[in-house]
Amino acid sequence: MTKQTTILYIEDDEASQNLIQRVLGHAGYKILVANRALEGIDLAKTCQPDLILTDINLPDMSGREITIRLRSDPALTTVPIIALTAQSHSFERDKTYVAGVDGYITKPVDVSMLATQIKEYLHGRRDEVDTTTLEYARRAYSQELVERLEANVRELEASNRELRRMDQIKDDFIQLTAHELRTPLTTVYGYSRLVQGMPAIQRLMAQDLEVEACLTGLMDSIERLQAVVNEIITVSRIASGRISLKPGPTDLDDVIKRSVEGYAQVLQQRDLKLVYDLVGCPTQLYADKALLELACSNILGNAIKYTPDGGSITLRAEMQPEQVQISIQDTGIGIDPNDQKYIFERFYTAGDTQLHSTSKTAFRGGGLGLGLAICRGIVEAHGGKISVKSEGRDEERLPGSTFIIVLPLSSNVSGQTLEFR
């Protein structure tokens, strides 16, 4: 059985699409329709049609530009491209030939002739063009292209400025909201602590376990809310360069041990094994101890969140020439390679957020997608690098993930307060 001859028709007008489909479909051709230039270019590349019919005035690019683009594809250089257009002026026609079309058919289409014309083009017919008239059209068309390019660049620049402005408004809004929330939250926390410490309440708690459970739940939720608000403030500061490093002599071993401290209970509860492999530590660094601890703690927190109960987490610190490499490896669900590119960006969360539990340390316990953005900000401010390795995400096979922080020993962190970049 011979393959049906395929014609790609690039046209945004529905009436023209219907007409051509009817006439050429009736003549036995298979018609593919693209409504826009870019869609047409993609279809031409993937479907390799036997002939391309294109309108000139399309919403995104003109039929002439489609022709230039397709002619640069080695697989499409010989495919007949025919303009089908209402533009009948000879100057418009010449500009279209300059772009590289093989034929030019004007609308309204003569339906009794169209199928024959197309058959001829398919069998090698090429319009004869008077090359002497083309030179003027070539210059005019080049000029037109450059003017359109300039207009597009200007439009893109304006949109880019507008996007940056909107992004700034969004960042300011997030930061302002977090600050506005922090003040009353501190008051709520303070009063709740006061209430909790009152002798009458202490007595009540001792008598009634439900009262104690309510107050503990209240305090836990307030602390959780405070942590979220603080995370937003930290990441906003990093993004806007408004956070300061306070570097000093820092014992790496100490940083790692302290970042683990807060998780001792959950590690036990969830039967997660912590393995230390600190070769040659303690290492003295000149760094912001508290921020480095926050970075390690965030990664460790993630390793706990994304590793099912019974798994293990290995903490390694390895001396290398001029630098130290800290790695945190888990036996968890792993991270898809497509997500690995984005997880260090603000507000990026991989996987299904519907599955996130509300706890910060439960398996798949969700967050706002800020932890790793904070880590990257901190590590890069120290002149270091953070990266991730994982074969992919698989909740059955559990390929695990390894986060690697590399910090220079003689970092450019000077004694002064530094700004994040």
> Which positions lie near ligand ADP, rule CB under 6 A?
302-303, 306, 330, 332-333, 335, 343, 348-351, 366-373, 401
Q: Give the separation between CA 292 and CA 254, rounded to whole angstroms.
A: 11
Kindly tell me which of 212 and 339 has the beta carbon lying closer to ligand ADP: 339
Kindly tell me which of 103 and 369 has the beta carbon lying closer to ligand ADP: 369
Closest distance between ligand ADP and the C-beta of residue 124, in Å?
Answer: 58
Burial level of 279, CB count in 10 A (0-12/13-18/19+)? Answer: exposed
Q: What angle do CA 370, 311, 300 make, to 5 degrees?
A: 30
Closest distance between ligand ADP and the C-beta of residue 367, in Å?
Answer: 2
Closest distance between ligand ADP and the C-beta of residue 34, in Å?
Answer: 37
Kindly tell me which of 9 and 403 has the beta carbon lying closer to ligand ADP: 403
Sign of torsion over alpha carbons 328, 346, 182, 192: negative
Contacts for 210 with CB less than 8 Å, ≥ 6 apart: none
Kindly tell me which of 282 and 308 has the beta carbon lying closer to ligand ADP: 308
Contacts for 157 with CB less than 8 Å, ≥ 6 apart: none
Kindly tell me which of 31 and 368 has the beta carbon lying closer to ligand ADP: 368
Closest CA to 316 of 305, 306, 303, 307: 303
DSSP state of 314: E
Closest CA to 174 of 237, 221, 242, 224: 237
Q: Give the separation between CA 337 and CA 344, rounded to whole angstroms.
A: 13
Kindly tell me which of 14 and 271 has the beta carbon lying closer to ligand ADP: 271
Closest distance between ligand ADP and the C-beta of residue 237, in Å?
Answer: 16
Kindly tell me which of 62 and 401 has the beta carbon lying closer to ligand ADP: 401
Residue at shortest CB range from ligand ADP: 367
Q: Identify the residue whose tokens are 């890069």.
A: 380
Kindly tell me which of 97 and 363 has the beta carbon lying closer to ligand ADP: 363
CA 175 to chain centre: 22
CA 73 to chain centre: 29
Closest distance between ligand ADP and the C-beta of residue 416, in Å?
Answer: 29
Kindly tell me which of 348 and 420 has the beta carbon lying closer to ligand ADP: 348
CB 226 within 8 A of CB 185: yes
Closest distance between ligand ADP and the C-beta of residue 349, in Å?
Answer: 3
Closest distance between ligand ADP and the C-beta of residue 366, in Å?
Answer: 6
Closest distance between ligand ADP and the C-beta of residue 403, in Å?
Answer: 7
Q: Give the separation between CA 266 and CA 168, rounded to whole angstroms.
A: 38
Closest distance between ligand ADP and the C-beta of residue 299, in Å?
Answer: 7
Q: Give the separation between CA 260 and CA 298, rounded to whole angstroms.
A: 10
Q: Give the separation between CA 370 and CA 408, rounded to whole angstroms.
A: 24
Q: Give the separation between CA 192 and CA 236, rounded to whole angstroms.
A: 28
DSSP state of 357: B
